[in-house]
Every structure is written in structure tokens, then in C-alpha cells.
Amino acid sequence: MTLRLALLASALAFATLPAHAAEPQKSKYRSAQEILEASPAQDWRRLDPANTLYLELESGRVIIELAPAFAPEHVGNIRTLAHEGFWNGLSIYRSQDNWVVQFGDPTEEESQRKSMGSAKPKLPAEFERKADDLKFDVLPDSDGWAPQVGFVDGFPAARDPKTGQAWMAHCYATLGAGRDTAADSSNATELYVVIGQSPRQLDRNITVVGRVVKGMELLSVLKRGPEPMGMYADKADYTPIRAIRLASDVPEAERTPLELLRTDSRSFTDATEARRNRRDPWYVRPAGHIDVCNVPLPVRSPKK
Amino acid sequence: MTLRLALLASALAFATLPAHAAEPQKSKYRSAQEILEASPAQDWRRLDPANTLYLELESGRVIIELAPAFAPEHVGNIRTLAHEGFWNGLSIYRSQDNWVVQFGDPTEEESQRKSMGSAKPKLPAEFERKADDLKFDVLPDSDGWAPQVGFVDGFPAARDPKTGQAWMAHCYATLGAGRDTAADSSNATELYVVIGQSPRQLDRNITVVGRVVKGMELLSVLKRGPEPMGMYADKADYTPIRAIRLASDVPEAERTPLELLRTDSRSFTDATEARRNRRDPWYVRPAGHIDVCNVPLPVRSPKK
């Protein structure tokens, strides 16, 4: 009964399936894992170091891909802030269950906050953008929050054909820029990462700047702060940030090379379909549907 | 700029809203928090001790409501197992990021596993049930995974008018019974709790037995085990279970009294609408939609 330990194979992991004598009618089904294992090299892309952040914690490295196509001004500031070491020595000061972790400088008094150096003190809201010059890999599945969902350059996204606008979707691992009540009050110093159920109600209400592609398990386990907001009352609960650096500022030998499955690849489409309509032995009833935030975005170390 | 700390007020918490001079056209809007604060006593229900599990960890108490209406056989076994102390001294042995934590007895060799006492060794799959004699509080919002979604006795649920069947939805905090490949291979000793994005593809593929109503933050922070399944390789990573007890087996003075908002109450309907179409000052664009797994299910301590 060793299968006992195989129960609940993850939608997010390349779980090993139990060996099974394939039934004739299922002989053509390939699991997402099998599709990925057989995927050609060109279906994968390398992370661009100029577009990659390393959030260095005592527990390890969290790797973030930035989204300049959606938030050019915020990403510009983030690059400057990282290059100048703004976050080094600051902390993760918020962890709210089923919501977000947040980091930066929590000092309330503006005059006492860490200097933003040569970053811009004021940025526009970048909640959505024109869709017509974006390559949008449409997911055929319905979505309650937006007319259409899919992926742009590997990021979960949505668009509205009527308005011609596109925006990034808030899913697990989404990185956004905290703001006050004014829509244009984010300056990209205070960043949050989604650690729970996709809070899609935030879509088009706040600027999304990227996505954690590796290391979520270092953020998602942080002790929760007190309700309702999860801001730690005790600074001893802060998680220190050793550094946030652009990968391009890191010596090549210290970088973490990663490949991401292209969301416009056949392998991605096929793996998503294999998850939408599972025919592996464990599943009794294929869902016939997948939510944009349930689609795994595979990451791997490059083959040597 | 103290609002800086109010950014990203949680959909799940009774967050304090900043004081604002109400604009005339918004004067009738009440936030979910305001609705809950003004809710009449009869809109709340007490947890039934015979239907409540206390999962006692070193870090505190996790409180679970069982769902006998959907999984009577599994809940029967759980009551027996808890009453006889089956889980006492066992562990949480699995923590997989954005997926589940799981507890019970991970021993692979069946003959060496802890005795189930007088619990039934074999249970039927309880994936769905007849809907026609269930009070179903329908959510008007569309859902990609099921024809209809809503709540039954406070549990997120779905139903299909064509088949006349209803089932529980996998959301954050859902408690289910792990199984092997055979649909009827769960015996309710190995239980999992969802700690990430709602894995709705599991709906009707596994038996859901209840929901964590308080204490998720004690489970969601557990160090993740190694990929792909999150089963800890090192037993030192196990989280010991002091006890799992039925609240009705616990002396009354040691119980945690809780009230849950009735999902068939006006306050619940109104609070959900206030979240579907937010008009508090922070939100620029109301979503016009809410997902069944994004609807908060409020819990409070009874007023003294």
C-alpha cells in the first residue's frame, strides 16, 4: 500500500505517477509530467538577468521575474532601488494568512523612512495597459472576474476585448506594489506577494510588478502577524532581508540559472489540457476546466 | 501617511477602514465590516460540539467543523477515531506548498500502522450526494468548475441541477480524507487541509469531511517538505499532534466557543455583495464578481 503516500499528487509538482497497465482507451493520454519531460528545448526560455530579482533571506533565495510590459515605471524604480541596495537590511514586516506577505520600510513617518536614492518619488498607477500590441496566450476557459484570461510572457493575465485593455491577474505568487488610498500612491518600495487564494478583486486596483518564480515556500511559511492586517507588532518577528539584487548585478557564478516553460508553446498548451481533463488513474472525474490561477507555470534548472 | 499601513486591507479580516468623509453618492454603501458589526444575533450560529474537532498542536488549537451532511460515514469514523484518541501522538507529516498539509499515520506497512480501534476499516467514497433535500444558499456568481456554487450549512459547495447532485468545494481551509487510487480507499485516518489556491479539480474526486474554521495560521506556516509531494524526509520536521478531540469530549470549560455567520442570513448576503462590489475608498474598480472560495466565512467569539 505504498500508494498511500502518493495520494493527492500536486497540481503544481511533477509528481511521479504510479506505474499502471494502460487501459486501451487511455493509451493516448499523457500526463502533464510526461508532456514536460518530452518537451523540446525551444519550449523553454531563460530568465533575463536584467529582469530578475533575487530576494535574499537567511532561509535562502526567492527569485522574482519582473513585468516591465505591464508596469514599466514601477519596474524602472525597482531596478534602481535594487541596484542601489534600498531593501538591503530592511524586512518582511507583514504576513497575513491567506493574503500576502509584504516587505520594505514600514516606518510611518515619511521623513524618517529610508531614502529612495535616485528612484522616482512618484509613479503613475499602472493597473492596466493597451492589449493590442501584446501577445496574449488565451486560455479557452471561462473566468468570472474578466472577459478573457490567459498568459502574457508567462504571467497570468486578463483582457477585455471591449475596452482593448489587458492587466495582470492576482494569483498565488503575484508580486504587487502596495499603495495608500490614492491610486498613484505606490512608489515600488513596499512590495507584497500573494500567499493564499487568488485575490482577483485586486486586479486593476493596484499595480502588479511581477511574480515569484522560485522560493515561494520561503515566504509562505512566515509566521502570521496579528489580525486583521498581519503587520507584526513585535519587530522580533520581522524577517530580515539580506539583500534584494537584480540578477544582472550579481556575479554570474552566483546567479541561479532557471528556465521557464513558454506559455505560447505546444508543451504548455498540452500540459494544461492534460490537467484540465485528467485521465491519470487517480482522477475519477476530470474537471473539464482550469482556472488561470490553477495553471502551473513550470520552472526548471537548465540541463547541464 | 498612516494609511500606508492600511494598504491591502484583507478580504478575510474585519479590517478597520480609514475614516472618510462619505461622498453623497456613496452614503448608502456599508462595508462588509460595518454590515457584520450591525448584524443581529440570530444571523450567527454556535458550533455544535458534537460536530467540532479540536486539533491540538504545541502552537495552539485548530478548530474544525465536520460536514456529516456530505460525508456521514467518514464523519462517523472521525468521531470514533477522535473519541478513542487515534491521532494523539501522531503527526502532521506532509506540507506541500500551495497545496495541503496532511496528518495521520504515514507508516507505509499496513500491519504496522496504528490500530483504528472500533472505527470502520472500510468506507464508501462520499464524493457527492443528492441535492434536493439540502438547503443550498446559491451564490449568483458564475463558476468555471460547476454549474452552481453556494453554501450548505456554511460550507462552500457546488451542485448540478441536471444530475441533482451536490458536493463540497475545495477551498482554502477545506478538510478532506486522503485516499489511494481506489475511490473508496480513504478510511478517514489520513486527513489533509488545503493551504493554497483552491484546488477545485479535486471536487468530486475525493471525500471532503469538513473545514477549518479557526487556526489556519497554525497549519499554513508549517515548513514545506521536499518536492514533489511535501512529505517530510526527516521525522524531525514532523509537527506532533498532542490530540484530536471532539469538542463534546472536552470539558466545557476547556472548549472554545465560536459563532459563525449563517450563510442563509441577510447579513451574509449583504456582506458578500459589499465585497463583490466594493465602494470603499481604496477600491478604484469593483470586481462585480466573487468566487465561492473568495467569500469570507466570518467567525467570532460569542459576546459575553
pLDDT in tens, A259-288: 999 999 999 999 999 999 999 999 999 999
pLDDT tier for residue A257 given thresholds of 50, 70 and 90: very high
The bridge status of strand B129-130 relative to strand B165-168 is: antiparallel
Q: What is the 3-state secondary structure (H, E, C) of A67-87?
A: CCCCCHHHHHHHHHHHHCCCC
Count other C-beta atoms under 10 Å from residue B38's C-beta.
11
Which of B37, B68, B64 lies closest to B53 in space, CA to CA? B64
Residue in this structure with the C-alpha cell 506556516, named with its chain if needed: B221
Q: What is the pLDDT of residues A96-118, one digit of tens each?
A: 999 999 999 999 898 999 999 99
Instruction: Report which DSSP code applies to A231.
Output: B
Percent of chain A with pLDDT over 70: 91
Please give the Cα distance from A245 to A242 (Å, whole number): 10
Strand pairing report for A60-66 and A52-57: antiparallel
What local confidence, expressed as pLDDT, does residue A27 receive? 59
Which CATH architecture group holds B48-106+123-256? Answer: Beta Barrel (2.40)
Give yes or no for residue B7 having a pLDDT over 70. Answer: no
Question: B182: nearest CA in chain A?
Answer: A282
As a whole number of Å, the end-to-end CA separation of chain B is 36
At the top level of CATH, the class of A48-106+121-259 is mainly beta
Q: How many H-runs (helices) and E-runs (strands) does chain A carry?
A: 4, 16
Residues of chain A found within 8 Å of residue B98, distances taken between Cβ atoms: 12, 172-173, 216, 220
**What are the residue ranges spanned by the domains of chain A?**
48-106+121-259
Mean pLDDT of chain A: 92
The verdict on ipTM greater than 0.90 is yes
Query: At residue A7, does pLDDT exceed 80?
Result: no
When pLDDT is averaged across residues B43-59 and rounded to a whole number, the result is 98
Average per-residue pLDDT in chain B?
A: 92
Distance between CA B175 and CA A60 in Å, rounded?
31
- Note whether A204 contacts B179, CB cutoff 8 Å: no
Q: CA A229 to CA B18: how far, in whole Å? A: 13
In angstroms, the separation between the Cα of residue A246 and the nearest Cα of chain B is 25
Flag whether pLDDT at B15 surpasses 50: no
Amino acid B141: pLDDT = 98
Q: What is the pLDDT of residue B110?
A: 87
Helices (H), chain A: 32-37, 72-83, 216-219, 266-276
**Could you read off the pLDDT of B142-201 as tens digits, one per residue?**
999 999 999 999 999 999 999 999 999 999 999 999 999 999 999 999 999 999 999 999
Q: Considering only CB atoms, which chain B residues are within 8 Å of A230?
A: 10
Q: Which residue intervals of chain B are DSSP H helices?
A: 32-37, 72-83, 216-219, 266-276
User: Is there a contact between B289 and A145 if contact means CB atoms under 8 Å apart?
Assistant: yes
**Alpha carbon separation from B253 to A100, B24, B159, B249 (Å, rounded):** 35, 49, 39, 12
Please tell me which residue, B121 or B14, carries the higher pLDDT value.
B121
* Minimal-distance CA residue of chain A relative to B59: A223
Burial readout A72-106 (b: 16 or more C-beta within 10 A, e: otherwise)? ebbbbbbbbbbbeebbeebbbbbbbbbbbbbbbbb
Residue contact B224–A220, C-beta within 8 A: yes
- Between the two ends of chain A, the Cα-to-Cα distance in Å is 36
If you average pLDDT over residues A148-166, what whole number do you get?
A: 98
Distance from CA of B62 to the nearest CA of A (A): 14
- Give the minimum alpha-carbon distance from B217 to chain A in angstroms, rounded to a whole number: 6
pLDDT value of position B303: 82
Q: Would you say residue A219 has pLDDT above 70?
A: yes
CA distance, residue A97 to nearest chain B CA (Å): 6
As a whole-number percent, the residues of chain B with pLDDT over 90 amount to 89
Residue type, B53: L
Helix (H, G, I), strand (E, B) or coil at B238: coil
Contact B145, A276 (CB under 8 A): no
For B108, the closest chain A residue by CA position comes to: A2
Question: Minimal CA–CA distance to A293: which of B172, B215, B127?
Answer: B172
CA A52-A57-A62 angle, to 5 degrees, is 35
